[in-house]
Amino acid sequence: MARYVARRILQMLPVIIGTTFLIFLMVWALPGDPFAGRCGQRPCSDAYIQAETARLHLDQSLPVQYGYFLGNMLQGDFGTVSNGDTVLHQLGRAFPITLKLTTVAIGFEIVLGIGIGIIAALRRGRFFDRLTLLTSLVAISFPVFVIGFVLQYIFGVRLGLFRVTVQSGAPWQDLIMPGFVLASLSLAFVLRLTRASLLETLNADHVRTAVAKGLPRSLVIRRHIVRNSLIPVVTYIGADVGVLLGGAIVTEGIFNIQGVGGLLYHATKLRENATVVSVATVVVLIVLFVNLLIDLFYAVLDPRIRYE
Amino acid sequence: MKQRKLIVASALFAAGALALTACGGGSDSESGSDSSSSAAVTIYNVKPENPLIPSNTVEVGGGNVIENLFRGLVRYDPDTAAPINAMAESIESTDNKNWTIKLKAGQTFQDGTPVTADSFVKAWSWGAYGPNAQKANYFFAPIEGYDVMNPADPDGEDGPKKAPTPPTKELSGLKVVSPTEFTVKLTTPQSFFPVEVGYSAFYPLPESFYADTEAFGKKPIGNGPFQMISGDGDTGFTLQKWDGYKGEDKPKISKATFKTYTSDAAGYADLLAGNLDFMDQVPPSALVGNQYEKDLPGRTINKAVGIIQTASLPQYDDNFKNNPDIGKALSLAIDRPTITKAVFNGGRTPATGWVSPIVDGYKAGACGEFCTYDPAKAKEYLAKSKFKGPFSFSYNADGPGNKEVAEAICNSVKNALGVKCDAKSYVDFSTFLKDRSGHKMTSMFRTGWQMDYPSIQNFLEPLYATGASSNDGVYSNPEFDKLIKQANGEEGEAGLATYQKAEALLANDMAVIPLWYQAQQSGYSERLANVKVTPTSTLDLIDLTVK
């Protein structure tokens, strides 16, 4: 197991380097003048363009620019943004907020998605099952911003039950509604996936044996059915973490959350390569790490799985 | 047994959810600003793109904040846009070229140091010094000595040679006579200089600025009615009334917070919920059917601001070069009243000239018959023109409403002239500007102008003079340049008349087609009274009161 984990961690390194270089390349290749619109309505002065070009090494070739960036990054300097802030400071501010939002969203997915999925599977064909299938279909077909705006208006502006926007620093209770909106699509998928997986397991031989042996129904469900059905669900949730971390930009815009999504959007617009690549690096790291944890979790769920 | 567990579980869950909503509801009732009258007025803002240094702030996010932290030589009356002396006692000249500026005595910065002639002279030299790379650097161009401090790159931007370091760090045109007096020598006469110096690039700076410009950019020390007590660009800035302010425009409120929003939709939602007090421009979705007036009854302001939209024709392209007929044909083919009603629902007014109505010297009808909708005449001019189409209209797709405008213009042209017209979109402003400034346009393209200071000169010279910095269509008319230079040297009504004469020339050449003037639709909360929008499209914090 330890060798497996070590091997996986070593494999992360080329993945990180490869993805960050690809993203660096893509932002670098974006058309458009990086100084356009930076100086108000008039073109930037020669002095400004020269200073910025020197600072960002824009006059060098791509591999050289990437080399500078990598070199700086290894020394802990992730670059400076046009408004004087350091990229590291911006990351340090935006990432915890997005992590909190992602945690709330994943929490909803796990509790509501798996919970309701289990209940729906156990009561297949009955009213509850049909109801959840219908609402999950609605959640899948509505775009996330529609759900976001509608919930914000009804529960925030009209009924005043939730804060309309999230305060700076993103306290946990402010993130309930945005987290739910963000989770809505994935929640529906998790629900259906759990339900389908459970239904399949319900007919398995080992379940019939357990019931025949005389085990109480709740024990059968908990120990034999749910654990075996969770593998596809857990895989999906693991992949979802990466998606949510990448920046739920629409939801962040609706609820004014100063997270990674908005950061990425503005950085791309202003062609701030340093910010985009730094954010991408951290996201890739987290995604790889979470997926490693998920893979290890399989061994817990299914004792037949062994790693070496 | 199982059923009971389920009931217990769902009851617990419901209880938990209720508890959490109570928390959410609880914090909602106190909201971002509490309801006592000494609480801060919350104002919508966007993240500043630059450090908060006056000579480096050319966009709204930073501009909103620094215009309350500082006072320059003059400020602009919120109702009439006329310049009023602020730090200056007098700004005088006999030839519009050599100016003597006397300062009011006893003015101080928020750290106690006095506002002297040095505060201005040193700040202007610092901003004009090329290697400091200040974005508003070009505002100091009229002052003698500017060129020396901004030597050109000998082989252009792409060449390996760098521009040489300027030999001096001081503008030769600025001279300090005494702590309260200094003189300014311009390279050409500019009668509008007293208006121009009200622009934020000309604000004074305390000595503490030069010791640590980076720290200053995060927390500026100004000389204005408000001082910054906390905040940063990402969450917002909190400003407090500065009791040491000696100017006559003292604010009535005590605290203002410029809250940073990532999207205007979130800001509008907060405005409706009462968490935000003022939003300078409600999102386009709220303008549909004047919804914002229904959402905020009696709490909206629809005011003309110094912004104009135009459509430019590339004078470097053979089809459009020396071809005024094509410009006239296109201008007559654009149905401005219908487009402004359909796309903007009255948020724009059809333009009748190249100058915004809110500045002195505005004369309606400079464009004459060419800015009316007349398909028959349009076809006549098209027949006379050597180029008969097809046309396209280039724009940046990331601006709200830009796509609808482009398509509406092209449809109007199609219907009136019977020629093809395509709306050509660029993915964002940066990409669009690259081609626009690089002179790669092949047909009509979107241009616009927001005034830097309230003067008719600002709508003409930076856009249409030969070689001007924002003359993207490369329009050139020596007669126009001559009139502008003449008007810059004339005073009062005589100067305005000459500017108007220059504007009339634009109608003959029709290299730039005026489209519409912009108004701003602002909304505010129930807490505010005496709400006024300044000529720079911001909330006036001086007369504002909280109920």
- Write the ipTM: 0.81
Q: Is the pLDDT of residue A282 over 90?
A: no
Name the residue with higher pLDDT: A62 or A35.
A62
Alpha carbon distance A295, A292 (integer Å): 5
How close, in Å, is residue A142 to chain B by CA atoms? 19
CB–CB contact B131 A51 (8 Å)? yes
Burial class (CB in 10 A: 0-12, 13-18, 19+), B24: buried
Beta carbons of B24 and A157 less than 8 Å apart: no
pLDDT attached to residue A87: 85
Neighbours of B534 (CB within 10 A): 20
Contact call for B1 and A45, based on CB within 8 A = no
Please report which confidence band the pLDDT of residue A238 belongs to, taking 50, 70 and 90 as the band edges.
confident
Q: What pLDDT score was predicted for residue A195? A: 93
Per-residue confidence in pLDDT tens, chain B, 547 aa: 455 455 444 444 444 444 444 443 333 333 444 444 467 899 999 988 888 999 988 888 889 999 999 999 999 988 888 899 999 999 999 999 999 999 999 999 999 999 999 999 999 999 999 888 888 888 998 999 998 888 776 666 556 667 778 888 999 999 999 999 999 999 999 999 999 999 999 999 999 999 999 899 999 999 999 999 998 888 899 999 999 999 889 999 999 999 999 888 899 999 999 899 999 999 888 888 888 999 999 999 988 888 999 999 999 999 999 899 999 999 999 999 999 888 887 788 999 999 999 888 899 999 999 999 999 999 999 999 988 889 999 999 888 788 989 999 999 999 999 999 999 999 888 888 888 888 999 999 999 998 888 899 999 999 999 988 889 999 999 999 999 999 998 888 899 999 999 999 999 999 999 999 988 999 999 999 999 998 888 899 999 999 8
| pLDDT (mean) for A22-50 | 77
Spell out which residues of chain B touch residue A84, defining contact as CB-CB under 8 Å. 50-51, 214, 217-218
pLDDT attached to residue B19: 43
Angle, vertex CA B518, rays to CA B415 and CA B495, nearest 5: 110
Cross-chain Cβ contact B262/A253 below 8 Å: yes
- Taking an 8 Å cut-off on Cβ atoms, the answer to whether A45 and B138 are in contact is yes
Q: What is the pTM of this model?
A: 0.83
- pLDDT value of residue B11: 46
The reported pLDDT for the residue numbered B21 is 43
What are the chain A neighbours of B273 within 8 Å (beta carbons)? 156-157, 160, 164
Rounded to an integer, the average pLDDT of A200-210 is 88
SS3 B427: coil
Chain A residues in contact with B450 (beta carbon < 8 A): 41
CA distance B377 to chain A (A): 34
Nearest to A263 by CA among A134, A13, A112, A94: A94
Cα–Cα distance for residue pair B83/B95, rounded to 1 Å:
20
Three-state SS string over chain A comes to CHHHHHHHHHHHHHHHHHHHHHHHHHHHHCCCCCCCCCCCCCCCCHHHHHHHHHHHCCCCCHHHHHHHHHHHHHCCCCCECCCCCEHHHHHHHHHHHHHHHHHHHHHHHHHHHHHHHHHHHHCCCCHHHHHHHHHHHHHHHCCHHHHHHHHHHHHHHHCCCCCCCCCCCCCHHHHHHHHHHHHHHHHHHHHHHHHHHHHHHHCCHHHHHHHHHCCCHHHHHHHHHHHHHHHHHHHHHHHHHHHHHCCCHHHHHHHCCCCHHHHHHHHHHCCCHHHHHHHHHHHHHHHHHHHHHHHHHHHHHCCCCCCC
Looking only at the bridges linking them, the beta strands covering B512-524 and B348-350 are antiparallel
Binary contact (B135, A254; C-beta < 8 A): no
Decide which of B222 and A51 is more confident: B222
Give the distance from residue B418's alpha carbon to the nearest chain A alpha carbon, in angstroms: 34
- The predicted pLDDT at position B23 comes to 41
pLDDT at B160: 64
In chain A, what residues touch B275 (CB-CB under 8 Å)?
163-165
> Between chains, do B270 and A165 touch, taking CB under 8 Å as contact?
yes
pLDDT of residue B3: 53
The pLDDT assigned to A57 comes to 81
- Tell me which chain B residues have a C-beta less than 8 angstroms from the C-beta of A89: none
